[in-house]
Amino acid sequence: MLRGFYGAASGMITQQRRTEMLNDNMSNINTPGYKEDKGSTRTFPEMLIQAQNTNYPFGRSSIPFGELATGVYMQERTPNFSQGDMMETGNSTDVGLLQGVLPENEDGEQGSLFFTVQNENGEVRFTRNGSWTVDGQGFLTTSQGYYVLGEDGEPLEVNNENFTVEENGTVITEDGEQAGQIDIGYAENSNDLVKEGNGLLRLEIEGEDDAELPSALGNEDITYQINQGFIERSNVDPGQTMTEMMNSYRMFESNQRILQAYDQSMERAVNDIGRLG
């Protein structure tokens, strides 16, 4: 009976966490470059149920007679790095990154490309959010104020918003001078990237601190196109997300009713059986 409580409760917790993930996706549906999260649900190890202190032959004191599931849990949230749709804005400071041909990794999957930026602590981070601006000192920054880095690893100085970005990422200022080329990081395995908030991603490799992605610049196996005046929209599918959210609500309610049924059975066992005794 108590095992049933644990199974139903674990199901409710799993659906609650899944709903929170889906709510995050829906709330960022208009965030440029946002990548939706996908949840991985796993089952706890099953238990082998045995009858104890039985009088079976051959001196056996117990015998197995079935398996018992011990509930489920949401193991992890994994970003989906598929390309989002491009939306034209006409703003010179908006830049969209359109992936082309990328090599496949050892798992047969394609990697992903990212803009390289510098956070407030001077650490290198990565993003697909190309909604940028120019700060008071003339540097190209994200909407949160993070410097956009060039191929030399230094912030790009464009002076004002009257700059031009070529398809390969070369930035030309209003005076016709070349400010540099936007650095594009290449992640062979996108699962090595972890969301850090504010649209930033951190490369997390075991045993390596402050790991950085290799640059896609000069790599003949990688093709991409940078479109000025466009931004990449979120890759969240609102219809599918709402459907998944409703399914999650229903599964939560189903587990809740099972929990209530167990609670009523326990109440009768305690009150009625105790009264008979």
Mean pLDDT score of the chain, rounded to an integer? 86
Look at the pTM and tell me if it is higher than 0.75: yes
Measured distance CA(149)–CA(164) in Å, rounded: 16
> What average pLDDT does range 179-197 have in this prediction?
92
Instruction: Judge whether residue 58 has pLDDT over 60.
Output: no
Place of tokens 């994994």: 78
Instruction: Judge whether residue 61 has pLDDT over 60.
Output: no
pLDDT single digits (tens) 201-241: 999 877 676 778 999 998 999 999 999 999 999 999 999 99
Burial of 119 from C-beta contacts in 10 A (0-12 / 13-18 / 19+): middle
Lowest mean pLDDT among 73-77, 88-92, 220-224, 225-229: 73-77
Measured distance CA(164)–CA(238) in Å, rounded: 34
Q: In Å, how far are 80, 111, 124, 148, 168 from 153, measured between CA atoms?
A: 27, 22, 9, 9, 17
Q: How many CA atoms lie within 13 A of 21 on its CB side?
A: 23
Per-domain residue ranges for the chain? 2-79+237-276, 86-232
Q: Between 14 and 76, where is the model more confident?
A: 14
> What average pLDDT does range 70-77 have in this prediction?
76
> Which 3 state secondary structure label does DSSP give 1?
coil
pLDDT single digits (tens) 251-276: 889 888 888 887 777 777 767 765 65
Sign of CA dihedral 248, 250, 252, 258: negative
> What average pLDDT does range 87-104 have in this prediction?
93
Give yes or no for a contact between 212 and 196, defined as CB atoms under 8 angstroms apart.
Answer: no
Q: Write out the two tokens for 108.
A: 């047969």
